[in-house]
Amino acid sequence: MWAVLRFKKNKLNLLKNDLRDHLGSEPKMFIPKLKIKRIIRKRIIQETSFILGDYLIIFHDKFKSSKIFSTIKNLRGLKSWVDYSESSQKNILDFIDLCKKNSDKDGFLNQSFFNLIKERKGIFIDGPFTNMIFEILEVQKNKLKVLVDRVITVIPKNSVCLFRPL
């Protein structure tokens, strides 16, 4: 059964080891992430960012029993867990499939994950326009026509620049 756990970011490896020791076998973990390039002092720095913040999705057969959560609540690196139910399993699997379908060979999410068709404004999170807000003027099949600081530009949907809705 899938579960959603909240972890301390600097203690993720401790949590993984403690979970393996406590559960008896290695659980499957899924943490969707982005590769972000930032320009700091004229240098390009590449960072990894988790899109769920300090949450991870984890699978193990022992999670079918709700009693397991009371026994793992004091593991190193674990902040809390999201109460689960049988009905949320399909939603979790759908989200994992969406992330895997829109990720590259290294497991990082592509721009196709962020669908801006319904939104009118967005912010660049990577590339030369990092942290700049834009407005969508026109949506075409493979590109977006956007307004960035009074400049109209066209961005391919599969471009290197990552952006998200505002």
**What are the structural domains of the chain?**
2-101 (3.30.70.940), 114-165 (2.30.30)
Q: Has residue 135 got a pLDDT over 50?
A: yes
pLDDT value, residue 115: 62
Under DSSP, the state recorded for 161 is -
Q: Confidence class of residue 28 from pLDDT cuts 50, 70 and 90?
A: very high
Q: Nearest to residue 23, comparing CAs of 69, 54, 55, 80? A: 69
Q: What does the pLDDT average to over 59-77?
A: 83
Q: Confidence class of residue 116 from pLDDT cuts 50, 70 and 90?
A: very low
pTM for this predicted structure: 0.69
What is the sign of the dihedral through the CA atoms of 98, 104, 107 and 108?
negative
First to last CA, the chain: 33
Q: What does the pLDDT average to over 20-44?
A: 86
| Phi/psi at 132 (5° precision) | -95, 140
Q: Has residue 137 got a pLDDT over 80?
A: yes
Q: Confidence class of residue 150 from pLDDT cuts 50, 70 and 90?
A: confident
Q: What does the pLDDT average to over 22-38?
A: 87
pLDDT value, residue 119: 66
Q: What does the pLDDT average to over 46-67?
A: 86
